[in-house]
Each structure stands twice: as C-alpha cells, then as structure tokens.
A and B are shown apart, each in its own frame.
Chain A
Amino acid sequence: MGWINIVIQGMLVGGLYALFATGLSLIFGVMRLVNIAHGDLIIGAAYLAYTVIQLTGLHPLASLVVVVPAAAAFGYGLQLGILNRTLDKDILPPLLVTFGLSVIIQNALLEIYSADSRKLNAGSLEIGSFSLVPGIDIGYFPLLTFLSAIAVVWALQVLLFHSPAGRAFRAVSDDPEVSQLMGCDNRRVYAWAMALSMAVVAMAGVFLAVRANFDPFMGPSRLIFGFEAVIIGGLGNLWGTLAGGIILGVAQAVGAQIDPGWQVLAGHLVFLVILAVRPQGLFPRGVT
C-alpha cells in the first residue's frame, strides 16, 4: 500500500507540473516560441496573487478572478509589444529576449518584494484530506490542483479542435504564410495564444504559492519542470503534456522515497531516459 500511496501522491503533484507546462506547450505549438521566462512569469503571477490578497483579503482561489484576466491581458500585450518582433525564421532572438525578460522579472520581484519567501494561505482547504482507503489519504488541495490541470487541458483541447479561434491557432501553426492569406491576422492570433498561456500560468502560480513557499528566484527551476513535462509528453500535444507532468511527479515522489535527496534528481533521470530512448516524446504531435 505504501508504494501505491507514493505513486498517487506523485500523480497529484504531477498535476501542478502539468499546469506549469501547459502554457509552454501551447505557445510552442502555435508559434514555435520557447519562452525562457515562463517559470518567472509563474512566480510573477504568484506575487500578483499575493498582492491582490494583501489588498483585498480574498481567498487565494478567489484571487484567480483577478489574477487570471490580469495575466492574460499582460500576455496579450507582451506578445503584441515585444515577442512578435522577435518571431522569424531564426529561433535565437525569442530565446534571447525571453531570457532577458526572465532576468528582468526576477530582479523586479526582488526589488519590490525582497528575497523573503512568501506563501499564500488557503486555510482549511490546504490541510484537509479524506481517506480513499486505509493508508491512502488524498489532500483536497492536491486533488483540486490535479483536477484543474485536467480541466485546463480538456478546455484547451476543445478550444483548439472545436472553435473558430482554435482553427486559427492550428492554421497559423501549420503555415503562417498561408494563414494570413486566409485572413488570419497572425500577430493577433499569437497574442491570443500568449494570453491563454498566461491565463494558465496564473493558475499555476496561485496553486504553486498555496502548496509551497516561493521567492523571486524560483522561476527557472519551475521552467525546467515545465520543459521536462512538455518533452516527456511529446511536443505539441497537450494531453501528452499532462501525462508528462504526471510522470515527472511520480518519478520525483518515488525518488524521494528512495532517498530524500533524490527527489529532483529522479525526475531529471526519467526525463533523460525518455529523451534518450524516445526523443520525440511519448505522445508526439496533436496541435499541428
């Protein structure tokens, strides 16, 4: 029973990793943009939620009503104002610009909030749990995180494959020259994709901040987890990204059981093995 419990707890944490990764996967799928600042944006969203809660006293989950639209609007502006200018056949400019953005966000957060770590308090939700069977206790909050990740991926899948906006995303992803000849304004399509990505980033930030302490320098390691989940699942497939997040979570949980110092290492090792054996990921393609 002990190992089953570990795997289940790992899966629940994997839901959070999937939330880290989904936005990354979406914008890579739509515009081949690798966003190095993704992790810092997650932490930025956590701080935004922190400020909103300080000002209004809202519950962290209620703060999503403010943080999600704010992050989406920021993403839309970021894409139109800056990132669109970097998109071309050369993949280096977006990498450099988002790397610069990462440094700027970290230092801005440090300047505004100091290096002290913070946490969002979700009250009884945080510590409550129920017993599935004797020996396996499921925390309400980890379960909520996990279900949110599934809901987010499902909603994005429906959007991509059953809505006009989704068809525009797929058309632009497939052939940006032809899509504009079909009347799609690529720059705006990219901006909407980034807005969606940032909406998911906001959720990831708030869930992360309720689950653990955060500080201005936590972004890059969240980015790594996100990347690993995307690559494990296969580029351009959101369900794959969800699976990748879960696999990473389970690997870490099992690693931690073997030796507490092995938690993060075990995740990286599983990633490395999958990259070596199946470089295209477990479930490649989907959003093309």
Chain B
Amino acid sequence: MGYAAHGIITMLLLDSLSKRYGALVVTDSFSFEVAQGEFVGILGPNGAGKTTLFNLIAGTVKPDTGTITFQSRDITREGAAARCRSGISRSFQIPHPFVGMTVFENVLVGATFGRKAEGSVDYAMQALELSGLSKKANQLAGSLPLLGRKRLELARALATEPRLLLLDEIAGGLTESECHELLDVLRQVHASGVTIVWIEHVVRALLSVAQRLVVVNFGKKIADGAPDKVMDSSEVKSVYLGEDALV
C-alpha cells in the first residue's frame, strides 16, 4: 500500500500475522494497513477468521508470528488493557455486558479505565446518549433485550475514547430503521475523527459507509480495495457471495 509515501498517516499495520489453533490456521500471514480516519469494511464467510483478527488486534489473543503496529508503535506484545488505553476499542458480535451492573456502570468502567479518568462520568453519559441508551442508564444490563445489548456494546466501545474502533457484526438482527439509526451514529463517530474497522454480514449497511472493503477467507485476505471494485471481482463473487447471494 505504502500510505506513508503519499503523506497519509498509518493508524494500524498488521505485518504477516499468523495464528493457528492446532492444525487449524485461522489467520494466515495476514498483512493489512489502515490509514488514520479510514472507514474499512471486512467481509468474509463464517469461520473465515474475522473475529480472530479482531482478537489479535485488541490483544486478547497473541499471534504466533508477525507484528502489529499501532500509531507507529509495535504493540505485538502489549496486553489488551494497555492497547485499550492507547486507543483501540472493540465490540463483540455476541454482546457481553457486565450483567450485574447497571447500563451506566457498564459504560463508566470503560470511561474510567479505558481512557484518562478525568470527566469519566460525563464521557460515559455522552457515550450512552450517542448510542441511544440514556433513558435506560439505571437498568441492570442483564435485563436489556438484544437490541439494547447491541447498543450497549457500542456505548462501551465508545466510552473508552477510541482512536481505532473495531466493530464486530453490530448490525446483525436489527430492523431496517434500527439499522439506519446505527449507521447515523457510526457516521457521526467517524466524522469526529475515529478510524473504524467494521466486520459485517449485512452487506448493504456495510457498503453504505465503508470507504474500503477487505474480503477474508480461510484466514487470508483475498481482496482489498474500493468497495465497488471488490464487490465486482470474480474471486469475491465465487468465494464469498456464491452465484445468487448478491444483495
């Protein structure tokens, strides 16, 4: 890619990253670069290794080989908490709220420990507001329905004041109008200067915001580029979308 040569600042750089579980290679010498301010979409069939990719970037899984550079700093050996504080934040495909805490407390944890602690209460309130959860702030997180939990995933990820936001299938299961609301929020977050990488199966939603599309299969990157070009490439059509699955 060589963004640096064009005066674009590299936010995240994965260099030949590999991860295997026994004989199963889930990430296969994966190289990937994200520029500051980009909005990148990631597509790929189930089991392609997308979520593992996020685990590697967020630091909950360590790679077997390869390096991860974030804002020009090698973070390959850094723990997840330190990466969070330096600005990497991720949401989970299956929401994992702290069920015994209120919605507000859930978000407050990230706002207190995931960023500088000053003003954490205000920052947590903002994240709730942005995610449309401020009315449910004092409910127990365990009592939220699925949509609420998805919103809480987003609110918690935002509460850590990310510079790089990794979203794992947060549009799945939403209705059309809920999805539009979500896209509005994401556009707003992106406009505020946050770099976003979004794994999503809801292709139409992804294409409406992503500036670049990456397609992953069997832990390898099989396409990377402008969304329309990627969607048109025959390899992507055959490997991922099949013959008649175009949305």
Name A's B-contacting residues (CB within 8 A). Answer: 164, 167-168, 170-171, 174-175, 177-186, 285, 288
Specify which of A168, A174, A177, A285 is in contact with B113 (CB 8 Å cutoff): A168
A115 to chain B, nearest CB (A): 45
What A residues does B112 contact at CB under 8 A? 164, 167-168, 183
In the complex, the answer to whether B79 meets A181 with C-beta atoms within 8 Å is: no
In the complex, the answer to whether B99 meets A174 with C-beta atoms within 8 Å is: yes
A167 and B109 in contact (CB under 8 A), knowing A183-B84, A185-B81?
yes
What A residues does B159 contact at CB under 8 A? 182
- A–B Cβ pairs within 8 angstroms, 28 of them: A167-B101, A167-B112, A168-B109, A168-B112, A170-B98, A170-B105, A171-B101, A174-B99, A174-B100, A177-B96, A178-B96, A179-B109, A180-B81, A181-B58, A181-B80, A181-B81, A181-B84, A182-B110, A182-B113, A182-B160, A183-B85, A183-B113, A183-B114, A184-B81, A184-B109, A184-B113, A185-B113, A288-B99
Q: A184 to B85: give the CA distance in the assembly, Å.
A: 9
Extra A-B contacts (4), CB below 8 Å, given A164-B117, A167-B112, A185-B81: A179-B98, A181-B80, A181-B89, A182-B114
A175 and B98 in contact (CB under 8 A), knowing A164-B117, A183-B115?
yes
Question: Does any Cβ of A come within 8 Å of B221's Cβ?
Answer: no
Q: Which residue of chain B lies nearest to A164 when distances are taken between CB atoms in the complex?
A: B112
Q: Which residue of chain A lies nearest to B115 when distances are taken between CB atoms in the complex?
A: A183
A147 to chain B, nearest CB (A): 29
Q: A182 to B158: give the CA distance in the assembly, Å.
A: 10
What A residues does B160 contact at CB under 8 A? 182-183
Question: Does any Cβ of A come within 8 Å of B30's Cβ?
Answer: no
In the complex, the answer to whether A171 meets B98 with C-beta atoms within 8 Å is: yes
In the complex, the answer to whether A182 meets B90 with C-beta atoms within 8 Å is: no
What B residues does A167 contact at CB under 8 A? 101, 105, 108-109, 112
Q: A111 to B98: give the CA distance in the assembly, Å.
A: 47
Q: A168 to B120: give the CA distance in the assembly, Å.
A: 14
What B residues does A175 contact at CB under 8 A? 96, 98
Which of the listed residues B92, B99, B110, B159 has the most CB atoms from chain A within 10 Å of its own CB?
B110
Question: Does any Cβ of A come within 8 Å of B143's Cβ?
Answer: no
The 0/1 profile, CB within 8 Å of A marked 1, for residues 108-146 of chain B is: 111011110100100000000000000000000000000
Specify which of A171, A174, A180, A183 is in contact with B60 (CB 8 Å cutoff): A180
In the complex, the answer to whether A183 meets B81 with C-beta atoms within 8 Å is: yes
| Among all A-B residue pairs, the 7 with the closest Cβ atoms | A183-B114, A288-B100, A183-B113, A182-B110, A180-B80, A174-B98, A183-B84
A183 to chain B, nearest CB (A): 3
B231 to chain A, nearest CB (A): 31
Question: Does any Cβ of A come within 8 Å of B156's Cβ?
Answer: yes
In the complex, the answer to whether A182 meets B79 with C-beta atoms within 8 Å is: no
